[in-house]
């Protein structure tokens, strides 16, 4: 377990910081938003990100990956959280790639992972069916018919759902609506017959979609993992996603916080810098304390993915819950401490506020993870 970065990871962090702040700043996100960009991210930027190897940070060398592990991925995601960069990094290179890595056959890994790494293929996980994260509660059905599965149902809040090439669909092949047994993960082209995709415009100007499946035919070989046993792949995939998004949220919180501290040192009222008011100082100092606690939690969770996967469920829920709470506190305070200018669209602080709220909902809100942590602790 490592709670400090090594040389390699620090250098990756420097590269990421440098590239993202120059090429993919919040101004780019604003532009994508204002121009109603149909894809919702800049393919050129994504291309460059993959050329730097960011989509293969967690992949084993055997599949053309860098094998830097989750701590390595964490620094890239954290930097992308600072710049709020829209890209398939999370949905495809973390969640999608993990599903293939953990559930795919050797053949599927050989075929898919290098393509994910190069950015030529993007994936999205079609999981949620209601407005709250309930990963076991799946009513989309996958029924065997001769050598195919037939998919029926509908999904919401599919991140990158409208732009991904392939979808990983969580479907019920067996069992009752909220059993963890009886789930199967199916890999389908997003353009398959019977799929209708409706892009949803989210507060954070990033991508998501509602997707309906009507008698979609999926060859039975196109599943990840075993039939009915999708949960054993899905749960660790979700946990990796939770830790990864927590890293992004750390970047989001840090950037919003640092910008606020700069403002406290700059803005004057009553003839003094507002940062000299103790009411604001104490709130800022409290946030610094929370950031420090979250930093340790995040580092531990990231290293747990690689070093102690048996502890991952507990650490992933700890990280997601704590980072949810942090990012909510910090983005709210950031707006408040900027005063009137804080609620203008011109100031970028609002982008952090909005991204935070969306990220908080991804793969479980605070209540979901507190409940899960308590259950894992046996109460």
267 forms part of the interface with another protein (CB under 8 A): no
Secondary structure letter of residue 229 according to DSSP? B
Q: Shortest gap between Cβ of 320 and another protein (angstroms)?
A: 11
CA distance 163 to 359: 19
In the region spanning residues 287 to 316, those forming contacts with another protein, defined by CB under 8 A, are 288-289, 292-297, 299-300
Q: Which span sits near another protein by CB under 8 A: 134-142, 200-208, 209-217, 366-374?
A: 366-374
Q: Which span sits near another protein by CB under 8 A: 97-105, 138-146, 355-363, 370-378?
A: 370-378
Indicate the residue among 137 and 370 with the shorter CB distance to another protein: 370
Q: Shortest gap between Cβ of 175 and another protein (angstroms)?
A: 20
| Residue 34: burial class (beta carbons within 10 Å; 0-12, 13-18, 19+) | exposed
Secondary structure letter of residue 62 according to DSSP? G
Looking at 27, 272, 308, 343, which residue binds another protein (CB under 8 A)? 272
377 forms part of the interface with another protein (CB under 8 A): yes
Looking at 110, 130, 178, 276, which residue binds another protein (CB under 8 A)? 276
For residue 139, give the H/E element and its range.
none
C-alpha distances (whole Å) from 322 to each of 134, 295, 328, 360, 364 are 19, 10, 10, 10, 12
CA distance 82 to 168: 28
The string over 121-135, giving b where at least 16 C-beta atoms fall within 10 Å of a residue's C-beta and e elsewhere, is bbbbbbbbbeeebeb
Q: Which span sits near another protein by CB under 8 A: 159-167, 196-204, 229-237, 286-294?
A: 286-294
CA distance 300 to 182: 32
Indicate the residue among 147 and 278 with the shorter CB distance to another protein: 278
| Interface with another protein: number of residues (CB under 8 A) | 38
Strand ranges (DSSP E) for 89-178?
123-126, 141-145, 148-159, 166-172
The site for another protein (CB under 8 A) is made up of: 2-4, 261, 264-265, 272-273, 275-276, 278, 280-282, 284-286, 288-289, 292-297, 299-300, 318, 321-322, 370-371, 373-375, 377-379
């Amino acid at each position: 377990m490592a709670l400090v970065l090594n040389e390699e990871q620090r250098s990756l962090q420097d590269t990421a910081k440098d590239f993202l702040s120059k090429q993919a700043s919040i101004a780019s996100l604003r532009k994508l938003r204002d121009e109603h960009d149909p894809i919702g991210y800049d393919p050129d930027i994504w291309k460059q990100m993959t050329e730097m190897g960011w989509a293969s940070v967690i992949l084993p060398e055997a599949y053309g990956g860098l094998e830097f592990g989750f701590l390595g991925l964490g620094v890239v995601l954290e930097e992308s959280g600072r710049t709020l960069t829209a890209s398939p990094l999370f949905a495809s290179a973390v969640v999608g790639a993990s599903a293939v890595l953990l559930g795919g056959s050797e053949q599927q890994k050989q075929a898919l992972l290098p393509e994910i790494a190069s950015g030529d293929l993007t994936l999205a996980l079609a999981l949620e069916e209601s407005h709250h994260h309930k990963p076991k509660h799946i009513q989309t059905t996958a029924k065997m018919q001769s050598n195919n599965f037939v998919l029926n149902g509908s999904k919401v809040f599919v991140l990158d759902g409208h732009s991904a090439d392939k979808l990983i669909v969580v479907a019920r092949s067996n069992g009752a609506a909220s059993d963890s047994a009886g789930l199967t993960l199916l890999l389908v082209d997003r353009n398959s017959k019977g799929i209708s995709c409706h892009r949803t415009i989210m507060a954070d100007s990033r991508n998501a979609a509602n997707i309906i499946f009507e008698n979609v035919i999926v060859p039975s070989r196109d599943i990840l993992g075993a039939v009915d046993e999708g949960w054993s792949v899905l749960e660790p995939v979700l946990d990796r996603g939770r830790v990864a998004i927590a890293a992004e949220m750390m970047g989001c919180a840090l950037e919003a916080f640092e910008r606020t501290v700069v403002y406290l040192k700059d803005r004057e009222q009553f003839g003094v810098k507002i940062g000299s008011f103790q009411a604001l100082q104490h709130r800022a100092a409290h946030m610094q304390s929370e950031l420090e606690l979250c930093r340790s939690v995040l580092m531990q969770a990231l290293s747990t993915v690689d070093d102690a996967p048996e502890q991952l469920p507990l650490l992933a829920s700890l990280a997601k819950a704590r980072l949810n709470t942090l990012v909510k506190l910090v983005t709210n305070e950031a707006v408040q401490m900027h005063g009137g200018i804080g609620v203008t669209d011109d100031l970028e602080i609002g982008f952090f506020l909005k991204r935070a709220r969306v990220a908080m909902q991804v793969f479980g809100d605070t209540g979901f993870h507190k409940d899960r942590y308590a259950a894992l602790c046996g109460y």
